[in-house]
C-alpha cells in the first residue's frame, strides 16, 4: 500500500520507516504517505506508540528543494500542516535520527514528542543557506526546546549540531549506542515511555523562551550582527520569527512563521542560493564520465614546491591520511615550507580544531625531499612552482623521466596552457590542471582543467579526489586563466581603465563591496600583489600593446616597487591591514590620463557597476559559448566560491538573468559607443549574449 514508507508493527509499536532515496526529502508523495501511515497508526487501537525513522536511509534532509516554486510544494498536506497534525498525536512518538535530520527533517523530529539520535547524527536547520527560514515550525519549536539564544545561533548559522551537542542542549533525549542499534533502542525508549505513562506531548523545557532574555535583546542582536548579514534578508526574517516565538503562543507563531517563510521563498536571494545548491550538485556530472569508470588509486601524492601554495596543497592530502612527498630545490626552502605547515596546524590546534596527536600524525605524513627520484612511486604529482611556462616545461619533462607509468601529473598553473605543458611529456593523457586557490588548505574551489588529451579516468579520479579533500571541483577547458582568471581579466581591466577616466580606487572598490563582493577588485590586486598581476600580464603583452592605457597605472606601480599590501603601498597606502587613499596614486592617474589623451570626468557608481560587472558577465557567457565551462552554473560556482562574489546574487550569470539579459547587452553596447576606440577594442558583446537576447531568452545556456 505504501511505496515510500516501510510500515511495520512491533507489538504495541508502529514503525514508520521513511524510504525515499537518497535522503528522504519530504516531497508531496512522501508527505501524503507519512500522513496516511500516521493516521493508520493513530487509528489502530492495538498501537500505543509510534517510532519514525529512516528506513536504510538517513532520517531526513528536509523539504524537497526541487519542488520549491512548483504545485507539489503547496499540495496538501503541506509540511507545516502535516507536522501540526503529528505534533498533536495522542500517542507518544519517537523520532529515531540516523545520519541527519536537516531543515524540515529536524522539524519532523521536533514534531515528535521524543527524539533519539545515533552517535554520528547531525541535526540542523540549514534553511538560511538557501536564503530561507525554517518554515514548518522550526523557528517556533526549537526555541521552546533549547532556549532562544541557542536556537537563534543554530538557525542563523545554519550549521548542524552533532549528537553530543544536541543532547547537551536538550534537542535529543538520548544517544543510541550505535547506528546499528538505533531502531532497537528507539523502540525500547518508546516502551519505557509507555510504561512510565509519559504524555504524548511532554512539556517544553522553555515554555516561554523569551523569559530569561535581557531587555532589548532582539534590537541589540540586530545592531550587533546586521553588518555581517550585509544585504541578506533571511537573517532578519529568521530573527523576527524567533522574536515572535518568544512573545506569542505557538499557534500565532506558526502562522507568522509561514508568512515570513513565504516572503523568503519569493525573494530573488533565495532563488539565487537555490540555484547554487543545484549548480553544486550538477558540477560533479561531466558528460562522458560516469560512476562505472574505474578510477586510478591515489595512495601517495607528491607536491613540487614547498611555498605557500605547495604547502597548502600538501596539507589537503595529509588531512585525509594520504602521505605526501614535498619537493624543493634547496634545503632552507624545504625546511621553511615544512615549518610553515606545522605553524598552520598549530593554529588549528590552538583553536581546538585538531588535537596534538592529530597534528603529529599529519606532520608524520609529510616527507620533505630535494630529489626528484623520491617521486618515483607517487600516484599523483602536483606541480606548484613559479608561474612561468619555461620553468613548468622543465619540471614536466623531468617528471616524465622519473614518474611511474599511470601516475597523474598535475599542474597548479592559474593561467598557462595545460596542453602545452602536457606536450612536454610522452604521456599527455595523464596530464591535468588542478588549480587550487590560495590559501589552498582553506579555499574550497578547485578548477579541474581538462586538457585536449586528458584521459577520462584521470579527470574522474581528480574529481573524486577533489571531493575527498573537501573541495568543490569545477571542470574547465584550456584557455588563458581558465574560468575564473579569464573572467577576472575584463572585470579588472575596466576597473583599471576607470581610474584613468576619473574614478578613485576607493570609489570602485566601494561600488563592488556595496554589491556584496568580499573585496573590491583593486584591493584584491593589492592583496594578491601588484607584482603578481604584472607577471600574469606578461604573456599577453603583444595583444595588450593595442591599448597603451591597459592596466597602465598598475604597471607604473610595479615599476615603482609598490607591490600592494606586502610592501605597504599599492593602489592604497597600508598601515597594517588598514588602507587609506594615496594622493600619489590619484595624481599618477591624472598624469597618465593626460599623457594618453583620456578625458577625465565624474564617474557615476552606476557606470562602475555596469562596466565592471557587465564585462565580467560577458566574458562568462563567451566562455560558456566556447565550451570552456560546461554550464552557466559552473561559472557561478567558480565566482562565488573562489572570488568572493555574493552567494545571494547566485554568481555573475545568475545575476545577469536577474538584471535582464537585454539590459546587460544594451549596457555593453552603450559604453562601447560612448568610449570610442577603447570601447570598440574591448567592449564587444559576446555573440551568445546577442543570440539569447534576439531569441527573447531570459536564461543563459548554450542551447
Alpha-carbon span 172 to 161, nearest angstrom: 11
Is 23 one of the binding residues for ligand 3H9 (CB under 6 A)? yes
Residue 630 burial (CB < 10 Å; 0-12/13-18/19+)? buried
Which position among 62, 131, 473, 642 is part of the footprint of ligand 3H9 (CB under 6 A)? 62
3 state SS for 430-471: HEEEEEECCCCCCCCEEEEECCCCCCHHHHHHHHHHHHHCCC
Cβ nearer to ligand 3H9, comparing 51 with 136: 136
Cβ nearer to ligand 3H9, comparing 368 with 473: 473
- Helix 148-157, helix 234-247: angle, nearest 10: 160
Residue partners of 564: CB distance under 8 A and separation at least 6:
525, 526, 527, 528, 529, 530, 531, 570, 571
Q: Which stretch binds ligand 3H9 (CB under 6 A): 64-72, 236-244, 303-311, 557-565?
A: 64-72
**Nearest-approach distance from CB 371 to ligand 3H9, in angstroms:** 39
Nearest to 636 by CA among 651, 623, 617, 658: 651
**Nearest-approach distance from CB 379 to ligand 3H9, in angstroms:** 25
Cβ nearer to ligand 3H9, comparing 27 with 651: 27
Q: Which stretch binds ligand 3H9 (CB under 6 A): 62-70, 393-401, 423-431, 570-578?
A: 62-70
Q: What's 303's DSSP letter?
A: E
Among the options 33, 118, 127, 447, which is catalytic? 127
Task: Using the CB atoms, write b or e for 26-47: b if 16+ within 10 Å.
Answer: bbbebbbbbbbbbebbbeeeeb
Q: Which stretch binds ligand 3H9 (CB under 6 A): 58-66, 181-189, 622-630, 672-680?
A: 58-66
Is 61 one of the binding residues for ligand 3H9 (CB under 6 A)? yes
C-alpha cell at 188: 525500547
SS3 at position 315: helix
Sheet holding 174-175, edge to edge: 5-10, 13-18, 49-54, 93-97, 114-117, 174-175
**Nearest-approach distance from CB 87 to ligand 3H9, in angstroms:** 15
Binding mask 242-281 for ligand 3H9 (x = CB under 6 A): ---------------------------------------x
Q: Which stretch binds ligand 3H9 (CB under 6 A): 56-64, 212-220, 455-463, 571-579?
A: 56-64
Among the options 33, 107, 240, 494, which is catalytic? 107
SS3 at position 114: strand
Is 479 one of the binding residues for ligand 3H9 (CB under 6 A)? no
Which position among 63, 422, 449, 612 is part of the footprint of ligand 3H9 (CB under 6 A)? 63
Q: Which residue is nearest to ligand 3H9 (CB)?
A: 103
**Nearest-approach distance from CB 126 to ligand 3H9, in angstroms:** 4
Q: Which of residues 94-153 bind ligand 3H9 (CB under 6 A)?
A: 100, 102-104, 107, 126-127, 130, 132, 134-136, 138
C-alpha cell at 73: 510544494
Alpha-carbon span 236 to 557, nearest angstrom: 43
Nearest to 485 by CA among 623, 610, 653: 623
**Nearest-approach distance from CB 70 to ligand 3H9, in angstroms:** 12
Binding mask 274-293 for ligand 3H9 (x = CB under 6 A): -------x------------
Is 82 one of the binding residues for ligand 3H9 (CB under 6 A)? no
Q: Which stretch binds ligand 3H9 (CB under 6 A): 21-29, 210-218, 323-331, 491-499?
A: 21-29
Cβ nearer to ligand 3H9, comparing 320 with 391: 320
Binding mask 624-653 for ligand 3H9 (x = CB under 6 A): ------------------------------
**Nearest-approach distance from CB 104 to ligand 3H9, in angstroms:** 3
Peptide bond into 77 cis (omega under 30): yes
Cβ nearer to ligand 3H9, comparing 463 with 683: 463
Which position among 4, 13, 16, 25 is part of the footprint of ligand 3H9 (CB under 6 A)? 25
Alpha-carbon span 379 to 408, nearest angstrom: 6
Which position among 29, 32, 47, 66 is part of the footprint of ligand 3H9 (CB under 6 A)? 66
C-alpha cell at 523: 584591493
Residue partners of 703: CB distance under 8 A and separation at least 6:
none
| Apex 254 CA angle, 252 and 257, nearest 5 | 110
Residue 675 burial (CB < 10 Å; 0-12/13-18/19+)? middle
**Nearest-approach distance from CB 280 to ligand 3H9, in angstroms:** 7
Alpha-carbon span 38 to 32, nearest angstrom: 10
Alpha-carbon span 373 to 574, nearest angstrom: 45
**Which contacts of 148-152 are long-range, i.e. CB under 8 A and separated by 24 or more positions?**
148/206, 148/209, 148/210, 148/213, 148/217, 148/242, 148/245, 148/246, 149/213, 151/209, 151/242, 151/245, 152/221, 152/238, 152/239, 152/242
Q: Which of residues 167-186 bind ligand 3H9 (CB under 6 A)?
A: none
Q: What is the CA radius of gyration of the chain?
A: 28
Cβ nearer to ligand 3H9, comparing 104 with 337: 104
Residue 227 burial (CB < 10 Å; 0-12/13-18/19+)? exposed
Alpha-carbon span 436 to 458, nearest angstrom: 17
Q: Which stretch binds ligand 3H9 (CB under 6 A): 59-67, 313-321, 392-400, 662-670?
A: 59-67
Which position among 30, 37, 49, 79 is part of the footprint of ligand 3H9 (CB under 6 A)? 79
**Nearest-approach distance from CB 290 to ligand 3H9, in angstroms:** 13
127 is a catalytic site residue? yes
| Apex 195 CA angle, 189 and 197, nearest 5 | 105
**Nearest-approach distance from CB 346 to ligand 3H9, in angstroms:** 30
Is 473 one of the binding residues for ligand 3H9 (CB under 6 A)? no
Which position among 33, 64, 430, 619 is part of the footprint of ligand 3H9 (CB under 6 A)? 64
**Nearest-approach distance from CB 459 to ligand 3H9, in angstroms:** 19
Residues that bind ligand 3H9 (CB under 6 A): 22-23, 25, 61-66, 79-80, 100, 102-104, 107, 126-127, 130, 132, 134-136, 138, 281
Could you give the residue numbers annotated as active site?
A: 107, 127
Amino acid at each position: 500500500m505504501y511505496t515510500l514508507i516501510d510500515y511495520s508493527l512491533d507489538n504495541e509499536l508502529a514503525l514508520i520507516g521513511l524510504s525515499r532515496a537518497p535522503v528522504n526529502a519530504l516531497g508531496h508523495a512522501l508527505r501524503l504517505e507519512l500522513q496516511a501511515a500516521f493516521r493508520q497508526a493513530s487509528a489502530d487501537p492495538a498501537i500505543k506508540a509510534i517510532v519514525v525513522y529512516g528506513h536504510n536511509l538517513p532520517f531526513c534532509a528536509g523539504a524537497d528543494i526541487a519542488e520549491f516554486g512548483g504545485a507539489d510544494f503547496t499540495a496538501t498536506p503541506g509540511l507545516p500542516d502535516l507536522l501540526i497534525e503529528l505534533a498533536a498525536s495522542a500517542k507518544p512518538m519517537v523520532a529515531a535520527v540516523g545520519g541527519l535530520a536537516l531543515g524540515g527533517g529536524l522539524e519532523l523530529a521536533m514534531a515528535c514528542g521524543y527524539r533519539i539520535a545515533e552517535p554520528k547524527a547531525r541535526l540542523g536547520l540549514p534553511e538560511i543557506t538557501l536564503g530561507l527560514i525554517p518554515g514548518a515550525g522550526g523557528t517556533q519549536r526549537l526555541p521552546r526546546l533549547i532556549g532562544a539564544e541557542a536556537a537563534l545561533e543554530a538557525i542563523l548559522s545554519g550549521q548542524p549540531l552533532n549528537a553530543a551537542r544536541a543532547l547537551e542542549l536538550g534537542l535529543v533525549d538520548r544517544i543510541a549506542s550505535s547506528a546499528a542499534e538505533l531502531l532497537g533502542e528507539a523502540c525500547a525508549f518508546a516502551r519505557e515511555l509507555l510504561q512510565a505513562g509519559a504524555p504524548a506531548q511532554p512539556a517544553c523545557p522553555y515554555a516561554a523562551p523569551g523569559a530569561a532574555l535581557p531587555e532589548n535583546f532582539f534590537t541589540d542582536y540586530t545592531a550587533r550582527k546586521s553588518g555581517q548579514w550585509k544585504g541578506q534578508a533571511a537573517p532578519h526574517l529568521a530573527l523576527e520569527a524567533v522574536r515572535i516565538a518568544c512573545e506569542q503562543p505557538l499557534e500565532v507563531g506558526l502562522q507568522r512563521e509561514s508568512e515570513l517563510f513565504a516572503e523568503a521563498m519569493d525573494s530573488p536571494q533565495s532563488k539565487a542560493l537555490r540555484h547554487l545548491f543545484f549548480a553544486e550538485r550538477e558540477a560533479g556530472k561531466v558528460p562522458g564520465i560516469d560512476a562505472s569508470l574505474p578510477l586510478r588509486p591515489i595512495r601517495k601524492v607528491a607536491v613540487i614546491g614547498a611555498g605557500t601554495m605547495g604547502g597548502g596543497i600538501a596539507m589537503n592530502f595529509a588531512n585525509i591520511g594520504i602521505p605526501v612527498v614535498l619537493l624543493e630545490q634547496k634545503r632552507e626552502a624545504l625546511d621553511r615550507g615544512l615549518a610553515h605547515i606545522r605553524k598552520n596546524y598549530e593554529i588549528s590546534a590552538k583553536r581546538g580544531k585538531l588535537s596534538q596527536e592529530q597534528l603529529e600524525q599529519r606532520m608524520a605524513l609529510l616527507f620533505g625531499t630535494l630529489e626528484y627520484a623520491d617521486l618515483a612511486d607517487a600516484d599523483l604529482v602536483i606541480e606548484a612552482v613559479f608561474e612561468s611556462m619555461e620553468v613548468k616545461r622543465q619540471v614536466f619533462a623531468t617528471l616524465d623521466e622519473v614518474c611511474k607509468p599511470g601516475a597523474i601529473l598535475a599542474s597548479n598553473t592559474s593561467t598557462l596552457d595545460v596542453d602545452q605543458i602536457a606536450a612536454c611529456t610522452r604521456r599527455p593523457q595523464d596530464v591535468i590542471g588542478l588549480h587550487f586557490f590560495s590559501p589552498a588548505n582553506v579555499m574550497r574551489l578547485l578548477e579541474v582543467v581538462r586538457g585536449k588529451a586528458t584521459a577520462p579516468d584521470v579527470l574522474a579520479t581528480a574529481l573524486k579526489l577533489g571531493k575527498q579533500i573537501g573541495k568543490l571541483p569545477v571542470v574547465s577547458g584550456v584557455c588563458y586563466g581558465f574560468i575564473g582568471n579569464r573572467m577576472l581579466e575584463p572585470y579588472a581591466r575596466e576597473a583599471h581603465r576607470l581610474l584613468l577616466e576619473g574614478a578613485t580606487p576607493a570609489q570602485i572598490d566601494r561600488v563592488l563591496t556595496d554589491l556584496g563582493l568580499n573585496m573590491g577588485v583593486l584591493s584584491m590586486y593589492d592583496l594578491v600583489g601588484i607584482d603578481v598581476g604584472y607577471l600574469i600580464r606578461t604573456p599577453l603583452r603583444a595583444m595588450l600593446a593595442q591599448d597603451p592605457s591597459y592596466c597602465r597605472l598598475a604597471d607604473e606601480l610595479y615599476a615603482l616597487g609598490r607591490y600592494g599590501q606586502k610592501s605597504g603601498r599599492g593602489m592604497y597606502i597600508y598601515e597594517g591591514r588598514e588602507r587609506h587613499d594615496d594622493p600619489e596614486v590619484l595624481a599618477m592617474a591624472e598624469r597618465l590620463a593626460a599623457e594618453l589623451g583620456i578625458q577625465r570626468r565624474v564617474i557615476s557608481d552606476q557606470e562602475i557597476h555596469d562596466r565592471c560587472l557587465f564585462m565580467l558577465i560577458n566574458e562568462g557567457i563567451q566562455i560558456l559559448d566556447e565550451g570552456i565551462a560546461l554550464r552557466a552554473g559552473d561559472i557561478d560556482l567558480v565566482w562565488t566560491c573562489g572570488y568572493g562574489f555574493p552567494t545571494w546574487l547566485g554568481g555573475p550569470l545568475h545575476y545577469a538573468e536577474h538584471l535582464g539579459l537585454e539590459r546587460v547587452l544594451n549596457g555593453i553596447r552603450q559604453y562601447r559607443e560612448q568610449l570610442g576606440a577603447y570601447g570598440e577594442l574591448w567592449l564587444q558583446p559576446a555573440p551568445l549574449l546577442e543570440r539569447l537576447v534576439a531569441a527573447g531568452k531570459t536564461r543563459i545556456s548554450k542551447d
